[in-house]
Structure 1
Amino acid sequence: MSIEIEFIQEYEPELSEELLALLRQVLEEAARTEEVEGELTVTFVDNERIHELNREYRGIDRPTDVLSFAMNEEGEEEMEIFLDEEMDDMPNMLGDVIISIPKAQEQAKEYGHSFEREMGFLAVHGFLHLNGYDHETEAEEREMFGRQEEILNRVRLTRE
């Protein structure tokens, strides 16, 4: 499975190349596990920006840790009208994952694990949302969080 990942750093200071390589490894493992090919963008922001996005798109007036904006939402029949054989060569645009760096730092301390572990968790969490997972019910939460742990364990990004 092949996945193209673009990292956009809107947060200062920028994340290290080592952390970006780790996040790439985590997301590549998530794509293999889910048997998904495509492209996604991961943007790193501050609490003010994610608060703004959370308010605008979810109607929740507070910062959050991660937001996902899927490009391939189920039920978008109108897009199927435009799909034909020529579009088979087009990349599968999975969507965008937005991560708040200050929120990730805060949660890493709160949960007593590394910043790297928290960033990996948030990246996988966002990726799984792009691929139809949710945690609205207990059963959905068990499935999604179980899948996250499976992926993180495979790249040895375990809880400390």
Structure 2
Amino acid sequence: MASLDLTLAWSSEQEVQEITPAFIEKVEELLRLAGESEGIAAGEVALTFVDDETIQELNKQYRDLDKPTDVLSFAMSEFGEDELQINYEDDGADTEGLDDEELVSEAFIEPLGDIIISVPRAIAQAEEYGHSVERELGFLFVHGFLHLIGYDHQSEEEEKVMFAKQEDILLKAGLTR
């Protein structure tokens, strides 16, 4: 199975916590484990670490909630009526004998979406829950990833399913409470 490609960027406004190469490796492991768990063979996730002010602005702009939150996810596969769907032209590659799905994967790594995490909020929650900041950031990343691929927690049943998946992935990565 092909692994997901992870694109990581962090806001210059986020100066609260150093994002170390070791932590990035852990996030890449979480992405691989989550992808394997959900049968996602390829795709790209953009992850951005921000401060509370930035995430509050985004939360207000996109969710009409004027307060900071811990994580926001923006799935690329959700097309609203005002959004354009991207069509990919043939780039001249040898695609003879490939089906539609293979053609897309040959020409383009599909963006699954963006995950934005508030580092100050993650630090506060880690303290509140009595576990490491790394564990909380990992939890928020997996939570955001599951939202990108269609999971939600609007009902008690949905929440049980989503949170069980999160805990399983975090356990496999060694990020326990």
What is the TM-score when the length of structure 2 is the normalising length? 0.82
Residue 117 of structure 2, aligned match among 99, 102, 111 = 99
Q: Note the C-alpha offset of 1:87.
A: 6.0
Question: Is it true that 1:41 corresponds to 2:7 in the alignment?
Answer: no
Larger radius of gyration: 2
Match of 1:114 in 2: 132
| Aligned-partner residue type, residue 105 of structure 1 | I
Q: Note the C-alpha offset of 1:79.
A: 3.2
Give SS of 1:69's match. Answer: strand
Alpha-carbon distance between aligned partners in 2 of 1:75 and 1:68, rounded to the nearest angstrom: 15
Question: Is it true that 1:134 corresponds to 2:140 in the alignment?
Answer: no
Higher helix proportion, which one? 1
Name segments (4+ residues, structure 1) moved above 3 Å.
82-87
Asked if structure 1 preserves the Cα contact closer than 8 Å seen for 2:115 and 2:141, the reply is: yes
Q: How does 1:1-160 map to 2 (within 5 A)?
A: 1-10=2-11, 11-12=14-15, 13-36=17-40, 37-73=42-78, 79=85, 82=87, 88=104, 89-159=107-177
Asked if structure 1 preserves the Cα contact closer than 8 Å seen for 2:79 and 2:85, the reply is: no
Alpha-carbon distance between aligned partners in 1 of 2:137 and 2:33, rounded to the nearest angstrom: 15
1:64-118 per-position Cα deviation (integer Å, ceiling 9, x unaligned): 0000000012788x738x4785962222110000000000000000000111110
Alpha-carbon distance between aligned partners in 2 of 1:111 and 1:35, rounded to the nearest angstrom: 30
| Aligned-partner residue type, residue 20 of structure 2 | S
Unaligned regions of 5+ residues in structure 1, if any? Answer: none
Alpha-carbon distance between aligned partners in 2 of 1:51 and 1:90, rounded to the nearest angstrom: 33
Give SS of 1:79's match. Answer: coil
Alpha-carbon distance between aligned partners in 2 of 1:142 and 1:156, rounded to the nearest angstrom: 21
In the comparison of the two structures, how many residue pairs are matched?
A: 158
What is the TM-score when the length of structure 1 is the normalising length? 0.90
Give SS of 2:165's match. Answer: helix
Q: Note the C-alpha offset of 1:24.
A: 1.3
